[in-house]
Amino acid sequence: MARILVVVDSTCDLPAEIIQQYDIRIIPTYVQFGLESLADDGEQLTRETFYARLPTASPLPTSSAPPLGQSIEIMEQALADADHVIALTAPAKLSGVYNVFRLAVERTDPQRVTLIDGQQLSMGLGWQALIAAEMTEEGYDPAAIRDALIAMQPRIHVWAALDTLEYVRRSGRVGWASAIVGEFLRIKPIIHLYMSDVRNAMRVRTSQRAFQALIDLARNAAPFDRLAVMHTCNPDGAKRLADALRDLHPDFRLITVEATPVLGVHVGPNGLGLGVVRTG
């Protein structure tokens, strides 16, 4: 049976134990603090270091796609270790990662790589990488895996309750954030990422109401095939949210992850989120 490996960028937020279990290859995105460029790989830049630096960073850090040379190197190694690669990326509409992957595929072996725009971030992308890896172990071929992921994407939702809109506004990636920032001076925004679009889902006035809104969104979206709780430097809030949703996932493990620093650049600290795959 042909061996297939999954390659995905680091915005997928997959826990380390899952990456190791399925030998998923990660191409890191980067965080820039001024002229300093750090790989978002958990080594050059850890979550602890990032959030310690963030409050006093001036200007605020920015994010960037992986260097092409490093992407080619990781892709070449995956192709050396496998017969075929499933390559998944953050949304082309929101990031340059897809284009870097595309160039890396063109310069390695495009006949042996299936490139897919994941149209999601965080565990919205991570679930796709994990399901692709599970399908490789079950003997599915690349075309079947691609078709399954594309069919699944409309069932994937990511919601995030942010402590402030300021980081999204400064990132410049979401036009409406700058247009309505004046309305959000005392508002906790809840954003919805769906099929590459980032939208303002609702506005609430307190952190507790934002917390309850996430619970309500989860319950309205159930039942799930997969459910993850995400946070940005907010482990206590993530535990509370996971506990509040425990009854919605009795038959499978709920994953709780701290979002990678590249995402923290755009959403800031103290955020909470959900990444779900609705039952088809």
Fold of 155-278: Hypothetical Protein Tm841; Chain: A;domain 3 (3.30.1180)
CA dihedral for 32, 91, 198, 144, sign (positive or negative): negative
Q: Is residue 101's pLDDT more than 80?
A: yes
Residue in 275, 203, 272, 215 with CA at minimum distance from that of residue 248? 215
Please compute the mean of the pLDDT values over residues 85-91 and round it to a whole number: 98
Three-state helix/strand/coil letters over the chain: CCCEEEEEEHHHCCCHHHHHHHCCEEECCEEEECCEEEECCCCCCCHHHHHHHHHHCCCCCEEECCCHHHHHHHHHHHHHHCCEEEEEECCCCCCCHHHHHHHHHHCCCHHHEEEEECCCCCHHHHHHHHHHHHHHHCCCCHHHHHHHHHHHHHHEEEEEECCCCHHHHHHCCCHHHHHCHHHHCCCEEEEEEECCEEEEEEEECCHHHHHHHHHHHHHHHCCEEEEEEEEECCHHHHHHHHHHCHHHCCCCCCEEEECCHHHHHHHCCCEEEEEEEECC
Q: Whole-angstrom Cα distance, residue 191 to residue 119?
A: 15
Tens digit of pLDDT for each residue in 220-267? Answer: 999 999 999 999 999 999 999 999 998 887 677 789 999 999 999 988
Given a cut of 60, whether residue 122 has pLDDT beyond it is yes
Residue 147: pLDDT band (50, 70, 90) is very high
Distance CA(234)–CA(230), nearest Å, equals 9
- Render pLDDT for 29-48 as a digit per residue (tens, 0 to 9): 999 999 999 999 999 999 99
The number of C-alpha atoms within 13 Å of 111 and in the hemisphere containing its C-beta is 0
Say if strands 4-9 and 197-204 run parallel, antiparallel, or are unpaired: unpaired
The tokens of 26 are what?
């990660």
- Using pLDDT thresholds of 50, 70 and 90, give the confidence band for residue 172: low
Burial, 223: exposed, middle or buried (Cβ in 10 Å; 0-12, 13-18, 19+)?
exposed
What is the Cα–Cα distance from 159 to 229, expressed in whole angstroms? 10
Give percent of the chain above pLDDT 70: 93
Residue 179 has what pLDDT?
42
Average pLDDT of the chain to the nearest whole number: 92
Whether the Cβ atoms of residue 83 and residue 109 lie closer than 8 Å to each other = no
Confidence category of residue 158, pLDDT binned at 50, 70, 90: very high
**Residues 126-140: tens digit of each pLDDT:** 999 999 999 999 999
Q: Which class in CATH covers the domain with range 4-151?
A: alpha beta
Delimit the domains of the chain by residue range: 4-151, 155-278
The pair of structure tokens assigned to 212 is 């309850």
Query: How many angstroms separate the CA atoms of 154 and 270, rounded?
Result: 28
d(CA 187, CA 28): 33
pTM summary value? 0.93
